[in-house]
Copies of this chain bind each other. A is one copy, B any other.
């Protein structure tokens, strides 16, 4: 069944405490190549049947209203994944 993937990330100007913790932990584990980390959310919405334009519009709408809070987050990506 097809899924619609919605990716939400904290706004760049907002300090992301989880990303900060990860960036602190990485070098301790020997991962030294990353200068910054941000943690966001990935949603997978399953659609029974075909992904029509209307359903995609619904997903976009849900992403902006429920799945993200525009004060602190951006919807960075919406895409359809088959199977």
Contact = CB atoms under 8 A, between A and B. Distances in A.
Given A26-B62, A66-B22, A33 B55 contact: yes
A21 B34 CA distance: 34
Number of copies: 2
Interface size class of A (residues with CB under 8 A): 35 or more
Interface string A11-48: 00000000100100110010111111111111111111
Interface of A: 1, 4, 7-9, 19, 22, 25-26, 29, 31-48, 54-55, 58-59, 61-62, 65-67
19 contacts: A4-B34, A8-B42, A9-B42, A9-B44, A19-B43, A29-B62, A31-B58, A31-B62, A33-B47, A33-B55, A33-B58, A34-B46, A34-B47, A35-B48, A36-B45, A37-B43, A39-B42, A41-B41, A42-B42
